[in-house]
Amino acid sequence: RQNTTYAATDDGSMVLSPVWSKLTTGVISLTGIPGLFLIGAGLAPKLVPPPFLEQTAKYSDLWSKTLAIPLKPKYFLPFVGSCKIFGILAMWGFFGPVLEVVCSLLYATLCVCAAFTRYKFDESLVSPIFIGSLSLLRLALPK
């Protein structure tokens, strides 16, 4: 039976297997689903459930006030959704190894912003902290 946790190197030492990097990227990839909803909320709001639209409009208003710039949900939401989708694609290596590393840092930054948003609305911080931690952890994992 093959050991999927550790892999042997040329000198016989054991290192973490690359499967862990793929596993963390797979878990992070699940955030693409709400990313698609965010894109839909901005581009075709009639196709998105009203509670989702109301919640994301609150987020857009919060960031408008925080940054002191008017951010219309029809532009802000697809932007954030696109950041999620393209970030996930970059983590899978579609844009090369350099952007794969840069993206992990930017995705963690996105999670910090999400945690700030959730904190302001007294919502659970578990998801953004967990996903942000995975984004940083994958930098230390073998590819």
- In this predicted model, what pLDDT tens digit does every residue of 99-123 receive, in sequence order? 988 999 999 999 999 999 999 999 9
Q: Looking at this protein, which amino acid is placed at residue 13?
A: S
Q: Please name which of 71, 90, 92 lies closest in space to residue 82, comparing C-alpha atoms.
A: 90
- What string of H, E and C letters represents the secondary structure of 59-108? HHHHHHHHHCCCCCHHHHHHHHHHHHHHHHHHHCCCCCHHHHHHHHHHHH
The residues that bridge with 7 in the sheet, in sequence order, are 15
Give 95's pLDDT tier (boundaries 50, 70, 90): very high
24 close to 137: Cβ distance less than 8 angstroms: yes
**Helix-strand-coil split of the chain, %, nearest 5:** 70, 5, 25
Q: Report whether pLDDT(10) > 80.
A: no
Instruction: Tell me, yes or no, if the pTM score tops 0.85.
Output: no
91 close to 143: Cβ distance less than 8 angstroms: no
* pLDDT, position 48: 84
